[in-house]
Chains A and B, each alone.
Chain A
Amino acid sequence: MFDVPEIDYLAILPLIIVFAGGLIGCLLEGFLHRSRRPNAQLWLSIVTLVAALVAVVWVARDNQGITAAGAVTIDGPTLLIQGLVLMLSIIGLLAMSERLGGTNPDAFTQAGVSVPGSVEEADAVRLGGTTTEVYPLTLLSVGGMMLFPASNDLLLMFIALEVLSLPLYVLSGLARRRRLLSQEASLKYFLLGAFSSAFFLFGAVLLYGYAGSMRLDVIAEAIGTQTVMDGLLVPGILLLAVGLLFKVGAVPFHSWVPDVYQGAPTTVTGFMAACTKVAAFGAMLRLLYVGVEAARLDWQPVLAAVAAVTMVVGAVLTIVQTDVKRILAYSSIAHAGFVLTGLIAMQQVGASSTMFYLMAYGFMTIPAFALVALVRSAGSEATHISQWAGLGQRAPWMAAAFSFLLLAFAGIPLTSGFTGKFAVFAAAIANDYAWLAVIGVLASAVTAYIYFKLIVTLYFGDRKNDTVVVTPSALTTFAVVSGVLITLGLGIAPAPLLDLAANAAHFLR
């Protein structure tokens, strides 16, 4: 007999909205004339995301619980991560839609399937081809990201992982300029992502062998009571962790990050860097805090070592980079280490500090990449650090905003970066990981070097280059301004959001 599981549709309403929006977007691709698609898709996506956000705040929040036969948990951390993913994807999507006066989003090629430099590509450009499929792709990816931290079942978690990843592989390959680099990035991301998915799946299988179920609550129960297949537990956990650590770009699973971040369309990189990280850490919280918390003495030291190595490698490799996108890529690796520092602290404070750091990081990353996309030289993006020299004089507001975001990355007080770092280091110190906090501050000092070198270049460098900062439309402006304001707000008055994170940090088990 097969019982139809009861599903609390109100609790998963945000997910339904996003997936439905993505599917409608696919239909629009097929039925709408290409000249009308850019606007229609943009509006559809924004409305979908806002509606989902509203649903998270007003509907799902009042319908928390474990539903769908124990596969989906809608609780505080889930809702916070979902809300965060939605907000970040709204500003990320706005930045992606920047047209710079054209009729199509500027960052994307008009013919993703054609060979770069081929006749087909030239024809597509001449005939006004569009790449509006990026909107449904983004929505589907967002849906996966929202499902990822809600999964209470390893199989569902795996499905969510794939749903969020596959559209990202495609998005990475759609850059309009330097298409070969973009396609290479896409392929690299796909291959390594497939590897890590395999690791994840293998880990899930081992845990199934150990506990007899893929559900996290059953696994949690089995730990400590089950002794027959004990040897499967720790390898299973670590293999699952490999899959998740790959997604957040932790060392030693980070080698894809710089290449993909550099090759992907810049605004997609921003979206990917912020949202994927949020979702993957959300899933990691769920897995480690709910599923295998009882076995933490086995995995905590491993993750602590990963956190330490991630911070050190990320920081040290950042300082030798000469490309702005690669600098931000390596810095995102270091930031993953900082988040891990908070995460392994366990307890409520570990979860709340992790989530707060993700908030802070997300809202500084998307605007930073959106600003990088505006710096142009001879029509294409100028990302070499020398091309940024002297921009402070020519584009004072852009330079001021970017410098402020760099200060936040460096963790200077009165920015969200500092509050976030304080939160994770405080959590680590309170839970006997003071040595990790020490490594963390030293890594911060190292990364500060490159951020300030960038500021030096912006302001103090000579200006002998043809780099220009194009004037963005309201879309990018909104994304950047809101990101900067949130970064400042979380630095000056973080109390309400810290409260929110602390209150949300209760897992339903």
Chain B
Amino acid sequence: MSDVPWLSILLAVPALGALALVLMPRGFARAREFALGVSLLTLVLAVLAALQFTVGSGGELQLTEVYSWIPQFGVSFALGVDGIALSMILLSVILVPVCLVAAWNDVPADGTRRLQGYVAWMLLLEAMMIGVFAATDVFLFYVFFEAMLVPVYFLIGQYGGPDRARAATKFLLYSLLGGLIMLVAVIALYAEGPGGTDGFLLANLTGLEIGGVTEKLLFLGFFIAFAIKAPMFPVHTWLPHAATEARPATAVLLVGVLDKVGTFGMLRFCLQMFPEASRWATPVVLVLAVVSIIYGALLAIGQKDMMRLIAFTSISHFGFIVMGIFAMTTVSQTGSTLYMVNHGFTTAALFLVAGMLVARRGSRLIADYGGWQRVTPLIAGTLLLSGLSALSLPGLNAFVSEFMVIVGTFQRYPVFAIVGATGVILAALYILLWYQKIATGPKPEEVAARTHDMSVREKFVIAPLIAAFLVLGFYPKPVLDLLEPAVTTTLQHVGVTDPAPTISAEGSEG
């Protein structure tokens, strides 16, 4: 199609930006502006790249680039996107500038390298996020998957809250363990494929029909890594700790984008490369997904710390995404992929608004608040709006996707769908109770006197997110058009067709 290596450029711009920031002299005063500029440039480039993407041409990979990298290992530097990958990349490049603005005052410009380091790690993380979603070579994917840990580790460990060192180490060890198990599977997978100097290309590894115990073991190797990343019950315990200790902006990137690598990986790698094993594992995965939904929601209700609460809501939401993926109907998977986009925006808004509250009150404990709709009406209002998005109010973004996941799952697994749907009710509880404790009640006079409502900068942070809520809530069609062909292709690889409706044909359209 076009000869411009769009994805490589997208990858290179933030990476070079990060490098430039490191090389600049200590105490470079405009580090934030520079980083924001780089991230906006990346956003523009990503939009341009997206315009090259032909929506109607089925689910195959587009904007592809393949270069030989380590031929001895069969590794290529291969990039390419389908609708799902493209939407995740767009989500990332939108959220990074938002987070940079949100993190404007996180680190003081004190003449040391701290601030430069902070924004440089964010840019590097952006590059790796783009890379991990665009990689079409299993080895390359693995490289990004693992290398991504380093910027997050430093973002949490160097810039986070009081218990940051432990949280960062816990996050890293969990992820590294999953990743290393996956490494064995990656190497073994190569042996199952055609081999040769480009044996790690995804195209060479799909449709292998490995079968038997080998396929199941390989599936598990990949799935455990993705389940840790996602995170699913019972390997979710790192997330609340990491999300609490990280800065809100870091938490957004961590939960909003990075964790999607897990579900993205399930779709692209587990299902497509190991279809038989995926069908074999479906019952267990669905049970774990439903447990995640309910367990995450119940724990969210019980949290005293806002950031922990948001982390547990995410575990619940990831349960929905995984349920939709493994229900393996077109509707449920399209719903899941849309959910991945929506959840990114919703969680971002929740973390950032909560971060604004914490910045004013100096406490993450919900009990320290009360009556804040009279103190900061705008912040309280956006909190409510983000909360409503999280509990899937019709008209806001998450509703469409959650509905599609439940409907799609119901087509094949009605019991799971019904049990999972109770998560929706629990969501209303944890969100509304939280809002009630924070915003309603008598006005806290002594706090109100010295607290300002949302600043202009914070409005700029929140505006794009609310716009995303509304657009995706009222008119999700363009995104769905982007996602659906890719989902159809995935299902073809798995060899699953939608179950024929048994009662009537209604209600299969989200």
Q: Is B188's beta carbon under 8 Å from chain A?
A: yes
A498 contacts across to B, CB distance below 8 A: 70, 72-73
Residue of B154, B157, B169 touching A449 (CB-CB under 8 A): B169
- Closest B residue, CB atoms, query A443: B180
Residue of A414, A444, A495 touching B72 (CB-CB under 8 A): A495
A449 contacts across to B, CB distance below 8 A: 169, 173
A413 touches B184 (CB 8 A): no
Residue of A414, A430, A456 touching B147 (CB-CB under 8 A): A414
User: Which of A218-226, A235-243, A270-278, A433-441 forms contacts with chain B?
Assistant: A433-441
Knowing A425-B184, A429-B184 are in contact, say whether A448-B158 is a contact too (CB < 8 A).
no
B176 touches A426 (CB 8 A): no
Q: Is B16's beta carbon under 8 Å from chain A?
A: no
- Closest A residue, CB atoms, query B173: A449
- Closest B residue, CB atoms, query A453: B169
- Complex Cα distance, B71 from A343, in Å, reads 21
Closest Cβ of chain A to B501, distance in Å, is 45
A434 touches B184 (CB 8 A): yes
B188 touches A448 (CB 8 A): no
Q: Is B113's beta carbon under 8 Å from chain A?
A: yes
Per DSSP, chain A at the interface is: helix
Interface size class of A (residues with CB under 8 A): 35 or more
- Complex Cα distance, B154 from A453, in Å, reads 12
Q: Is A396's beta carbon under 8 Å from chain B?
A: yes
Closest Cβ of chain A to B131, distance in Å, is 11
Residue of A422, A429, A502 touching B191 (CB-CB under 8 A): A429
Closest Cβ of chain A to B364, distance in Å, is 20
Q: Is A347's beta carbon under 8 Å from chain B?
A: no
B176 contacts across to A, CB distance below 8 A: 410, 445, 448
B169 touches A502 (CB 8 A): no
Interface set, chain B 363-410, CB cutoff 8 A to A:
none
A413 contacts across to B, CB distance below 8 A: 142-144, 146-147
- Complex Cα distance, B168 from A456, in Å, reads 9
Residue of B157, B181, B187 touching A425 (CB-CB under 8 A): B187
B180 touches A445 (CB 8 A): yes
- Complex Cα distance, B75 from A498, in Å, reads 13
Knowing A429-B188, A434-B184, A441-B181 are in contact, say whether A499-B72 is a contact too (CB < 8 A).
yes
A456 touches B191 (CB 8 A): no
Closest Cβ of chain A to B16, distance in Å, is 15
Closest Cβ of chain A to B401, distance in Å, is 32
Q: Is B165's beta carbon under 8 Å from chain A?
A: yes
Residue of A393, A445, A459 touching B157 (CB-CB under 8 A): A459
Closest Cβ of chain A to B141, distance in Å, is 11
A495 contacts across to B, CB distance below 8 A: 68-72
Knowing A452-B172, A460-B158 are in contact, say whether A441-B183 is a contact too (CB < 8 A).
yes
Per-residue interface assignment for chain B, residues 173 to 190, with 1 indicating a CB less than 8 Å from any chain A CB and 0 otherwise: 100110011011001101
A412 touches B149 (CB 8 A): yes
B158 touches A438 (CB 8 A): no
- Complex Cα distance, B143 from A455, in Å, reads 21
B142 contacts across to A, CB distance below 8 A: 413
B165 contacts across to A, CB distance below 8 A: 456, 460-461
- Complex Cα distance, B151 from A407, in Å, reads 12
Q: Is A167's beta carbon under 8 Å from chain B?
A: no
A459 touches B173 (CB 8 A): no
- Closest B residue, CB atoms, query A393: B112
Residue of B112, B157, B183 touching A422 (CB-CB under 8 A): B183
- Complex Cα distance, B184 from A453, in Å, reads 25
Per-residue interface assignment for chain B, residues 159 to 177, with 1 indicating a CB less than 8 Å from any chain A CB and 0 otherwise: 0000011001100110011
A448 touches B172 (CB 8 A): yes
A437 touches B184 (CB 8 A): yes
A459 touches B154 (CB 8 A): yes
Q: Is A494's beta carbon under 8 Å from chain B?
A: yes
Per-residue interface assignment for chain A, residues 292 to 327, with 1 indicating a CB less than 8 Å from any chain B CB and 0 otherwise: 000000000000000000000000000000000000
Interface centre among B113, B150, B158, B191 (most CB of A within 10 A): B150
Tally of contacts, chain A with chain B, CB under 8 A: 86
Q: Is A442's beta carbon under 8 Å from chain B?
A: yes
Q: Is B153's beta carbon under 8 Å from chain A?
A: yes
Residue of A393, A441, A455, A456 touching B184 (CB-CB under 8 A): A441
Per-residue interface assignment for chain B, residues 66 to 97, with 1 indicating a CB less than 8 Å from any chain A CB and 0 otherwise: 00111111000000000000000000000000
Residue of A407, A419, A425, A499 touching B150 (CB-CB under 8 A): A407
Residue of B143, B146, B157, B191 touching A430 (CB-CB under 8 A): B191
A448 contacts across to B, CB distance below 8 A: 172-173, 176
B150 contacts across to A, CB distance below 8 A: 407, 412
B187 touches A422 (CB 8 A): yes
Closest Cβ of chain A to B212, distance in Å, is 15
- Complex Cα distance, B166 from A461, in Å, reads 11
- Closest B residue, CB atoms, query A441: B180
Closest Cβ of chain B to A402, distance in Å, is 14
- Complex Cα distance, B164 from A456, in Å, reads 10
- Complex Cα distance, B168 from A493, in Å, reads 29
- Complex Cα distance, B112 from A327, in Å, reads 30
B143 touches A414 (CB 8 A): yes
A407 contacts across to B, CB distance below 8 A: 150
- Complex Cα distance, B73 from A418, in Å, reads 13
Residue of A393, A410, A425 touching B183 (CB-CB under 8 A): A425
- Closest B residue, CB atoms, query A421: B183
Closest Cβ of chain A to B164, distance in Å, is 7
- Closest B residue, CB atoms, query A460: B165
- Complex Cα distance, B190 from A461, in Å, reads 42
Per-residue interface assignment for chain B, residues 27 to 69, with 1 indicating a CB less than 8 Å from any chain A CB and 0 otherwise: 0000000000000000000000000000000000000000011
- Complex Cα distance, B154 from A455, in Å, reads 9
Knowing A407-B150, A426-B187, A502-B72 are in contact, say whether A444-B180 is a contact too (CB < 8 A).
yes
Closest Cβ of chain B to A485, distance in Å, is 15
A452 touches B153 (CB 8 A): yes
- Closest B residue, CB atoms, query A426: B187
B158 contacts across to A, CB distance below 8 A: 459-460
A494 touches B70 (CB 8 A): yes
Interface set, chain A 446-470, CB cutoff 8 A to B:
448-449, 452-453, 455-456, 459-461
B71 contacts across to A, CB distance below 8 A: 495
A414 contacts across to B, CB distance below 8 A: 143, 147
- Closest B residue, CB atoms, query A434: B188
Per-residue interface assignment for chain A, residues 396 to 431, with 1 indicating a CB less than 8 Å from any chain B CB and 0 otherwise: 100000000001001011100011011101100110
- Complex Cα distance, B195 from A430, in Å, reads 11
A438 contacts across to B, CB distance below 8 A: 184
A412 contacts across to B, CB distance below 8 A: 146-147, 149-150
- Complex Cα distance, B168 from A498, in Å, reads 34
A421 contacts across to B, CB distance below 8 A: 183
B157 touches A460 (CB 8 A): yes
B112 contacts across to A, CB distance below 8 A: 393
A455 contacts across to B, CB distance below 8 A: 157
- Complex Cα distance, B191 from A407, in Å, reads 27
Interface set, chain B 114-146, CB cutoff 8 A to A:
142-144, 146
- Complex Cα distance, B193 from A426, in Å, reads 14
B143 contacts across to A, CB distance below 8 A: 413-414, 418
- Complex Cα distance, B112 from A427, in Å, reads 46
Closest Cβ of chain A to B18, distance in Å, is 13
- Closest A residue, CB atoms, query B164: A460
Closest Cβ of chain A to B135, distance in Å, is 12
- Closest A residue, CB atoms, query B144: A413
10 tightest Cβ-Cβ pairs between the two chains A and B: A441-B180, A413-B143, A498-B72, A460-B165, A445-B177, A413-B146, A413-B147, A456-B165, A426-B187, A429-B187
List 25 A–B pairs whose Cβ atoms lie within 8 Å, in order of A's numbering. A393-B112, A407-B150, A412-B146, A412-B150, A413-B143, A419-B70, A422-B183, A423-B73, A425-B183, A430-B191, A441-B180, A445-B177, A445-B180, A448-B172, A448-B173, A449-B173, A452-B153, A452-B172, A455-B157, A456-B157, A460-B157, A460-B168, A493-B69, A494-B70, A498-B73
Contacts A441-B180, A448-B176 given; 15 further ones with Cβ under 8 A? A414-B147, A418-B146, A423-B73, A426-B73, A430-B191, A434-B188, A441-B184, A442-B177, A449-B169, A452-B153, A453-B169, A455-B157, A456-B168, A460-B158, A461-B165
